[in-house]
Structure 1
Amino acid sequence: MLPFDVSGPMPSPAHSHTMQKNLSSDDHSNPTTLLDVARAAGVSASTVSRIMNGTARVADDKRKAVLAAIEKMHFAPNQMARSLKKGSTMTIGIVVQDISSPFFDETLRGVDDALKGTGYTSVIVSGHWNADEESDRIRLLLARKVDGIILLTGRISDETVLKFANQRPIVATGRALRTSNAIGFKVDNEHGAYLATRHLLDLGHRRIVFIKGPDSSSDANERLAGYHRAMAEADVPVDPQLVVQGDFHEPSGQAAITALLERDVPFTAVFAANDLSAYGARLALYRKDRHVPDDVSLVGFDDLPGSSYTAPPMTTVRQPLYDLGKAATNALLSLMGREAFDEGVAPVELIVRETTRAVE
């Protein structure tokens, strides 16, 4: 993740020798300097430096002029020299759990956008939903002298997070933390699950399957609690057969619904603890010739980008994944000495699409 695009067209041979000297970073005898960029943009060298470090507050036209000059002139500052001078590597570490998951992809997109113009780049590692591996990956990032760490959910304890935060600032999602060196962002999973279950109950459904997430996940347990709260509030007994195990991945959702259908367990709706499980459940229903929503209503949790493009588009609980990534990054920059950040993150909300309908 780079603060600006260093790719771009090389100057044409028709340009003068002087222009080639200024615009080509491949000319090692006369490399483009920060002063060259400043002259091209019509600003001072210190302004260019502060814009690249993300510390300048200047008019948009000046900022755009500087970034355009950087791109056009293929200017690549000596990052090692800057790091030695500042005592900083200008690098942050990001720990995800599954690099291939669209859940983390959306959050990382928010991180990437928040880093633009700051001068920081990132190193991304995966913990694979394993506490020991997460700890190893964080130690690896610390050994690489990253300036701070963003931990996207995970299995390590809050106590472990705070111990690592004694060495570098850490911002973690899925946790309620607030110390001088650690900040946590947590969405209201219980309320989101309550909204989803309440929606199905309001449509007249009473036999509602809940596909759980892994028992070791606090998010999964909170969503199960929201399901139970809504059912109890509506005075609808929960059939234990309808609460089935999943692991937040598509195959587990497919297996859970296939098993219920093969055992002829009656139900009219499915609420999956995340969208990926719901995708698997949808496939199981399709293969057993159960139509969504005519035969079975379906609700997910997350509102991944693909959920609005399923056939039919899926009702789900929206997590502000992109906004969460931006907020986590801004919080980390704040912990590392930047200006204060806006702590607000949009609440979860139910997005009703076309996979739910009233019981006839």
Structure 2
Amino acid sequence: MIKKTVAAGPSTLLDVAREAGVSPSTVSRILNGTARVSDDKRQAVMKAIARTNFAPNLMAQGLKKGRTHTIGIIVQDISSPFFDETLHGIDDGLKGTGYASVIVTGHWSALEEADRIRLLLARKVDGIVLLSGNLPDDELLHFATQRPIVVTGRALDASNALGFTMDNEHGAWLAVRHLIELGHRRIAFVAGPPSHADASARLRGYRKALEDAGIAVDPALVVEGNFHENSGLIAINHLFETRQEFTAVFAANDQSAYGVRLALYRKGVRVPEDVSLVGFDDLPGSSFTTPPLTTVRQPLYEIGLTAITALLRLINGDRVPTRVPPVELVVRETTRPH
């Protein structure tokens, strides 16, 4: 005789309660964090959950609390390794929280950022992280009246919104001072887009380091870029075409520095024997360039982790100061004394 096997259905809250020897309401309160029980009883419930393979219905729990357990993340360029490392920090910060992320792109456009925020709000996300961007503070604060928002790249402190920034001006100052201490005086700068706050701050740091050393700023050595690799290549070609003399290049970000390195290579200029090179960001690939790139390290992973931690605390009504490690100069092999 063949015995017919019926597949068991998913375990329930009641199954967990029976296994742990407690009431279903106790299991429920332990799961949502409101129970005041002994450690022994809590451990018994957690072991019962593991034995029964119970999976809490996050959607049902969210509906009771008016939450969807989703977080909206707005990046500016999904293909950029800068945002990739920051998203890694956000992803790690969400592990074990029951939250999932919805990632959209703003393309450095205030109009697109506002549109994406409206889209995320329509999807009932519990909060939003805006990574950099150009949306004005007053518009951000308006959206924050509907859902908590954390933004990077600017200082912001309101009832339902937090923002923090890195000291880009100081980071650029560190990079240029390093080159000056190596004896360089003709230091070219591949800048970022002037509408970008970080780019403007790095330009200020470049100028300040030169001025502090008593070196006149030569506008002909400053070439506007766009934070992408191609702008570094174009900038070096422009400097050669206009016959500018320089012994070092400071690029406003590592991606631009990669383009600078390629342009110098194509022109037979050795790095660092002929020209020293410094970037900004310390992207994961910068320690593997040829030669490894001297750069200003932004704690990209920590920025993402800090942003998502701050947002989850805002969602739960908890406000704490946001702190990330400062920028620092990482000296590798693309700089040498002049």
TM-score (norm 1): 0.84
- 1:113 equivalenced with 2:92 (yes/no): yes
Distance 2:332 2:143 in 1: 42
Cα pair 1:53 1:119 within 8 Å, conserved: no
AA matched with 2:262 = L
AA matched with 1:282 = R
Q: Which runs of 5+ in 1 are unaligned?
A: 1-16, 22-26
**114, 118, 138: which one aligns with 1:135:** 114
Aligned match of 1:157? 136
Distance 1:209 1:67 in 2: 63
Distance 2:269 2:134 in 1: 36
**178, 188, 191: which one aligns with 1:209:** 188
Distance 2:208 2:124 in 1: 46
Aligned match of 2:323? 344
Taking every aligned residue pair, what percent have the same amino acid on both sides? Answer: 66
- 1:103 equivalenced with 2:82 (yes/no): yes
**1:329 Cα deviation (Å)?**
1.0
CA deviations on 1:89-110 (whole Å, 9 max, x unpaired) are 1111011001111111111111
Aligned match of 1:148? 127
**92, 96, 102: which one aligns with 1:123:** 102
- 1:229 equivalenced with 2:208 (yes/no): yes
**Closer/same/farther in 2, CA of residues 288 and 148 from structure 1, 3 Å limit:** same
**219, 229, 234: which one aligns with 1:250:** 229
- 1:281 equivalenced with 2:260 (yes/no): yes
Aligned match of 2:307? 328
**1:261 Cα deviation (Å)?**
2.1
**1:42 Cα deviation (Å)?**
10
**Closer/same/farther in 2, CA of residues 240 and 48 from structure 1, 3 Å limit:** farther
Distance 1:143 1:344 in 2: 31
AA matched with 1:140 = L
**160, 168, 171: which one aligns with 2:150:** 171
**1:349 Cα deviation (Å)?**
0.6
**274, 279, 288: which one aligns with 1:295:** 274
AA matched with 2:291 = P
SS state of the match for residue 166, structure 2? coil
Cα pair 1:54 1:119 within 8 Å, conserved: no
Cα pair 1:275 1:307 within 8 Å, conserved: yes
Deviates more, 1:122-131 or 1:260-269: 260-269
SS state of the match for residue 158, structure 2? coil
Distance 1:232 1:215 in 2: 20
Distance 1:68 1:149 in 2: 35
Cα pair 1:51 1:117 within 8 Å, conserved: no
Distance 1:116 1:53 in 2: 17
**272, 277, 284: which one aligns with 1:305:** 284
**294, 298, 301: which one aligns with 1:319:** 298
Cα pair 2:58 2:98 within 8 Å, conserved: no
**262, 265, 282: which one aligns with 2:244:** 265
**66, 80, 87: which one aligns with 2:66:** 87
**1:240 Cα deviation (Å)?**
1.3
**1:277 Cα deviation (Å)?**
0.5
Distance 2:235 2:337 in 1: 23
How many residues get paired? 331
CA RMSD of aligned residues (A): 2.9
Aligned match of 1:4? none
**164, 168, 185: which one aligns with 2:164:** 185
AA matched with 1:152 = L
CA deviations on 1:62-112 (whole Å, 9 max, x unpaired) are 88x959966x97654333322221111111101100111111111111111
Distance 2:284 2:20 in 1: 39
AA matched with 2:97 = T
Cα pair 2:253 2:279 within 8 Å, conserved: yes
Distance 2:298 2:84 in 1: 13
AA matched with 2:309 = N
Q: Which runs of 5+ in 2 are unaligned?
A: none
**1:245 Cα deviation (Å)?**
0.8
AA matched with 1:157 = P
**1:336 Cα deviation (Å)?**
1.0
**Closer/same/farther in 2, CA of residues 266 and 127 from structure 1, 3 Å limit:** same
Distance 2:162 2:35 in 1: 25
SS state of the match for residue 178, structure 1? strand
